[in-house]
Structure formats: C-alpha cells, structure tokens
Amino acid sequence: MMKIIFIASGITLLAGSFLLVSNAAATDDYDVKAFGPKSPIVWTKPAKTSFEHRPHTDVAGLECKACHGEIFAMQRGVAQKTGKFTMASLADGMFCGACHDGKRAFASDTKCAACHKIPDDPIVWTKPVKAVVFFHETHGEKSDLKCVSCHDGTFPMQVGVAEKSSNFTMKSIYEGRYCGACHDGDTAFAANTRCNTCHIGRKGYDRLMGRDPYAEKDGH
Amino acid sequence: MDIKNLEKEQNEGIESLPSDERRKFLQMGLAVTGVFLGGTLLSLTSVSTAKGRNADPAIPADGQYPYTKHYGMIMRQNHCVGCEKCMDACVETNNVQIGHGAWRTTIQERLTPLDSGREKREFRPILCNQCNRPPCVRVCPTKATYKDPETGIIVMDDKKCIGCKTCMAACPYNARYYSHAKHAIDKCNFCIDTLLAAGEKQTACVTSCPAHVRVFGDLKDTSSEIYKLLHKPDNKIWVIRPDCGALPNVFYMNA
C-alpha cells in the first residue's frame, strides 16, 4: 500500500515538474536565480558601459559568488561611485579586470565594443562655441579606425572631459591635439578647412535639441 | 547667320586665340569675349563697357571714399561657424531689447542637401551695410536717420524718429527694427555711441568673434587690415545685393 502511495506521489511530482518546466519554456526560459538579472547592467559613469549576466553565468559557468563579494557589490551603483571604476583600474586587475586579463578572459584593453556601446547619436560639444558635432559612425565604420585610435590617448571617452579642458580649442587642434591628431590635411581634411562640417552653429544645435531655431529670432 | 543668335552658340573660350591677335583688338579699343563657330566668328565688345568682376562698381576703387573716416567691415565668410557670440555681444553692448525678432546683427544659415544625405551648411553674418547711397536715408520723412559725415556710419536721431517704419521697408538688407524701448527705429551703428565713442577701435561683434570672421576698420587707412584685404590682388570680394545700387560698405570674402 505504502509502495503504491510512493509511486503515485512520485508520478504526480514528476508530472508537476514537467508541467513547470514546459510552462517556463512557453513564456521564458530565463532563470533569474541561476543566471542573474535578465536586463543588462548599464553604467553611465565614467563612460556608458553595459554588462550582460547570462554570458558570464550560464555560458561561462560562473557562480554569483565568483564576482559578487570582493570584486563587485551586488547593490546598484556602488562600483561607479567608488571613483575607481576606470579602464586603468581594470588593467590593474580590479572589477572586470579580475578575469579580463587576457588569460582567463579577453583582456580589458581589447574588444572595447563588447561592453562599450558606440553611440548612435552624435557627440555634441557646446563649449567653447555652440556647437560642434561628431559622428562615431563616420569615423569608425567608414574608416579603419579602432576605438583605441582616439580613446583615451587623443580623446578621453568620459563625457564632458575634453570640453572642460581649457585647451579644447581650434588652436590646440592645429597643434595636433584632439581632432587635429588626424585632421591635419594629410590623414584627414585639415582642421582649418570645411569648418561647417563639424560646426553646426547655434541654429543647428537648437534643431538637434528639437527646438525651432527661428521661433523668436527671425524677422523684424 | 543672325548675329543675335550668337549667344546661343557655344563659346569656345579665348584661350585658343593667339595673344598677338588679342593685342590687335585691344589696341582698337575692343575686348574679345569669346570665340565661336570654330574661330570663324569672334565676339568683340568695346573695352570701356567690358567690366569684369573686379570692375564691379559695388566694390569701391582705391582712394574713392567720400568720408573723413570711412568705416566698413569685411567678412571672412567661410570662417563663420554660426556660434552667434557676436549677436550676444551686440545685444549686451548696445542694449538691444531682444524679442519681436529685434537684432542689430544676425547670422543667416543656408542648408543645401548633399548626395551623401548630409547637408552642406553655410553661415553668413549680416548687419547694417552703412551704404554710400542709403535708401533708408532717402526715404526718411523727418531726417531722423542720416549718414554721419565724419565716419560714413548711418546713425539715428531718436528724437526725430516718428516710427513710421518707411526706412525699414526701404532697407535692402532688412537691417532695421522698431525698438519698443526707444520708441524709435534702431539699427547697427558700428558701436559708434558705445565703443568707438569710448575710444575703442573695434565693435562688439568683432571682439567677440572666436574665428576672426569680421574685420572692421577705416577704408581710408591704407595700413588697416580691411584695406589690405579689400585691395589684395586676386582676392574675390562680393557684397550682398549689389543690384540695389546702395553701394554697401560691408564686404564678403572667403579666407
């Protein structure tokens, strides 16, 4: 009698678990407990970076504890508040650099775009003059440049850093800094020609920000 | 062949014409403007009426400036990036009450679509052209606006202005506006009452320009930058609306 009960309950449990699995497969087979959060972790400082848990847990087979503890706090925003969450510290083996050292996983100074998303929107500078645009698309996809060609030697990746510098001027570009590293008339068109390829003016800036540049200014 | 149809024929240029031949025609007081129909026809015109671009009466001949100091401005147009710092400086210096589209100087923008899908962008700074034959002065019923004989700058006598706006309609450059603060028409006067009166040599828009687009100065001063730019051989200079005959003193070039 006991045997029958055991077998019956076993069958019920088995069927139940099959049901659970098939239910999960029908809607979503993502196991949050095993894989970690489904949506990517996005850091905005110092530069926009995203991290997917699944390639690290499900694919690479890491336990949560492998990173969460000493390397990365589980709490949101802690890493970027430390002020040490930089490529330099990664190279020293901190944060992602604990594994991404070129031995256990690809080195942190390679495959930039695996974590850093190349911005689709133009980069817009408003200082010292309004406004200058830069398209990554024209420089990356349509030429042989790599991320490291400019970042961070010529241009800091961090938003607003170049702009805050007092030497972010045409003069220093003519001297070969910033855009002038290539825009010297040799590698790319000289920086003292074709001004309005990059300079869009205040009207262009207004338009970019979704405002009508002629709303108030035009006509007498 | 009908000589009137000549202009419809293809002009083969005058390069193929031997210089001896050309010289002969010049000695006769004729200029060769083209060779047509395989050299069987020449187009000739008398030298006195043949004027090239540099003979454009809108560009003053060296030394022909009617005023004691003859102020003018030349724009190195292709250097303008449309940052509008000149506009800010002008508003601040000359107390321009912005709103209702009031400006003493502004930047025009032209966008031309390119094959690449992008746009070609050009900026052009404009302001009062301080014309030698100013239509605004001619039409003013109260002589509230006049050409300052000392500087050639067109100035306003606010007390005389009745605000009829006839000068606004007459201005070929749309460079005048009605100031609700002054209850008079206001316009660019090359900062004559603000900076020049205080002994400054430059206008607010010139000083604030980060790209050295605007060059202001006395056309009579042969050592001035504006004089040198205006009279540099082969420097292509143009003015806005030369056809209106106002003889403007604001010139444009590409640097």
Do B155 and B40 belong to one domain?
no
Instruction: Examine residue B11 and state whether it is found in any structural domain, yes or no.
Output: yes
Which range marks the domain in which residue A181 is found? Answer: 123-208
Instruction: Examine residue B65 and state whether it is found in any structural domain, yes or no.
Output: no
Do B151 and B35 belong to one domain?
no
d(CA B107, CA B80): 9
Structure confidence at residue B45 as a pLDDT band (50, 70, 90):
low
From A114, A146, A168, give the residue that closes a domain.
Answer: A114
Contact B101 A129 (CB under 8 A): no
Instruction: Examine residue B132 and state whether it is found in any structural domain, yes or no.
Output: yes
Instruction: Examine residue A218 and state whether it is found in any structural domain, yes or no.
Output: no
Residue found under tokens 């030394």: B63
pLDDT score recorded for residue B55? 47
Instruction: Examine residue A220 and state whether it is found in any structural domain, yes or no.
Output: no
Closest CA to B47 of B28, B70, B24, B31: B31
From A89, A114, A139, give the residue that closes a domain.
Answer: A114
Do B228 and B121 belong to one domain?
yes
d(CA B46, CA B41): 16
To 5 degrees, how large is the angle CA A136–CA A138–CA A142?
120
Do B162 and B124 belong to one domain?
yes
Structure tokens belonging to residue B16: 């193929």
Do B46 and B99 belong to one domain?
no
d(CA A199, CA A218): 21
SS3 label, residue A84: coil
Query: Could you tell me if B179 lies within 8 Å of chain A, comparing CB atoms?
Result: no
d(CA A212, CA A202): 11
Instruction: Examine residue B60 and state whether it is found in any structural domain, yes or no.
Output: no
d(CA B177, CA B136): 12
pLDDT score recorded for residue B9? 72
Query: Could you tell me if B84 lies within 8 Å of chain A, comparing CB atoms?
Result: yes
Query: Could you tell me if B83 lies within 8 Å of chain A, comparing CB atoms?
Result: yes
Instruction: Examine residue A191 and state whether it is found in any structural domain, yes or no.
Output: yes
Structure tokens belonging to residue A202: 């205040």
Instruction: Examine residue B61 and state whether it is found in any structural domain, yes or no.
Output: no
Do B45 and B155 belong to one domain?
no
In angstroms, what separates the C-alpha of A43 from chain B's closest C-alpha? 32
Query: Could you tell me if A142 lies within 8 Å of chain B, comparing CB atoms?
Result: no
pLDDT, tens digit only, all 220 positions of chain A: 555 655 555 555 555 555 455 454 445 678 888 888 888 888 887 878 889 998 899 888 888 888 998 888 888 888 888 888 888 889 999 999 999 999 999 998 888 888 888 888 899 999 999 999 999 888 877 777 888 889 888 888 888 888 999 999 999 999 999 999 999 999 999 999 999 999 999 999 999 999 988 876 544 5
| pLDDT at residue B11 greater than cutoff 80 | no
Which range marks the domain in which residue B118 is found? Answer: 71-253
Instruction: Examine residue B175 and state whether it is found in any structural domain, yes or no.
Output: yes
Q: Which residues of B are less than 8 Å from A218 in CB distance?
A: 101
Structure tokens belonging to residue A98: 């604990």
d(CA B89, CA A98): 54
Contact A217 B122 (CB under 8 A): no
Do A37 and A104 belong to one domain?
yes
Do A131 and A172 belong to one domain?
yes
Instruction: Examine residue A216 and state whether it is found in any structural domain, yes or no.
Output: no
Do A15 and A42 belong to one domain?
no
Answer whether B175's CB lies under 8 Å from B202's CB: no
pLDDT score recorded for residue A82? 85
Instruction: Examine residue B18 and state whether it is found in any structural domain, yes or no.
Output: yes
Do B133 and B32 belong to one domain?
no
Contact B168 A217 (CB under 8 A): no
From A92, A114, A136, give the residue that closes a domain.
Answer: A114
Residues whose CB is less than 8 angstroms from the CB of residue A4 and which lie 6 or more positions away in sequence, other chains included: none
Do A184 and A197 belong to one domain?
yes
Do A160 and A144 belong to one domain?
yes
Do A41 and A108 belong to one domain?
yes
pLDDT score recorded for residue A24? 46
**Number of domains composing chain B:** 2
Closest CA to B129 of B198, B63, B212, B58: B58
pLDDT score recorded for residue B128? 97
Contact B211 A195 (CB under 8 A): yes
Answer whether B184's CB lies under 8 Å from B161's CB: yes
Structure tokens belonging to residue A111: 């495959």
Q: Which residues of A are less than 8 Å from B80 in CB distance?
A: 195
Query: Could you tell me if A207 lies within 8 Å of chain B, comparing CB atoms?
Result: no
Residue B120 amino acid letter: K
What are the beta bridge partners of residue A123?
Answer: A134
Contact B81 A128 (CB under 8 A): no
Closest CA to B142 of B166, B161, B163, B121: B161
Do A84 and A137 belong to one domain?
no
Q: How many other C-beta atoms lie within 10 A of the C-beta of residue B183?
A: 11
Do A141 and A106 belong to one domain?
no
What's the helix, strand, coil split of chain B in %, to 5?
A: 25, 25, 50
Do A44 and A101 belong to one domain?
yes
Interface of A with B in 160-199 (CB under 8 A): 170, 195-197, 199
Residues whose CB is less than 8 angstroms from the CB of residue A99 and which lie 6 or more positions away in sequence, other chains included: A105
Q: What is the CATH number of the domain that holds A148?
A: 3.90.10.10
Q: What is the CATH number of the domain that holds B168?
A: 3.30.70.20
What does the pLDDT look like over B93-138, one tens digit per residue?
999 988 877 999 999 999 999 988 888 999 999 999 999 999 999 9
pLDDT score recorded for residue B68? 83
In angstroms, what separates the C-alpha of A174 from chain B's closest C-alpha? 13
Do A147 and A176 belong to one domain?
yes
Instruction: Examine residue B207 and state whether it is found in any structural domain, yes or no.
Output: yes
Residue A61 amino acid letter: G
Instruction: Examine residue A217 and state whether it is found in any structural domain, yes or no.
Output: no
**Number of domains composing chain A:** 3
Contact A219 B101 (CB under 8 A): yes
Instruction: Examine residue A170 and state whether it is found in any structural domain, yes or no.
Output: yes
Contact A217 B106 (CB under 8 A): yes
Q: What is the pTM of this model?
A: 0.72
pLDDT score recorded for residue A2? 56
Which one of A197, A202, A220 has the shortest CB-CB distance to B83?
A: A202
Do B203 and B77 belong to one domain?
yes
Which one of A131, A200, A220 has the shortest CB-CB distance to B174?
A: A220
d(CA A168, CA A127): 8
Contact B82 A201 (CB under 8 A): yes
Do A56 and A95 belong to one domain?
yes
Across B32-46, B68-82, B126-140, B180-194, least confident range: B32-46
Which whole number is the average pLDDT over B53-82? 81
Do A80 and A142 belong to one domain?
no
Q: Tell me the H-state helices in B58-126.
A: 85-94
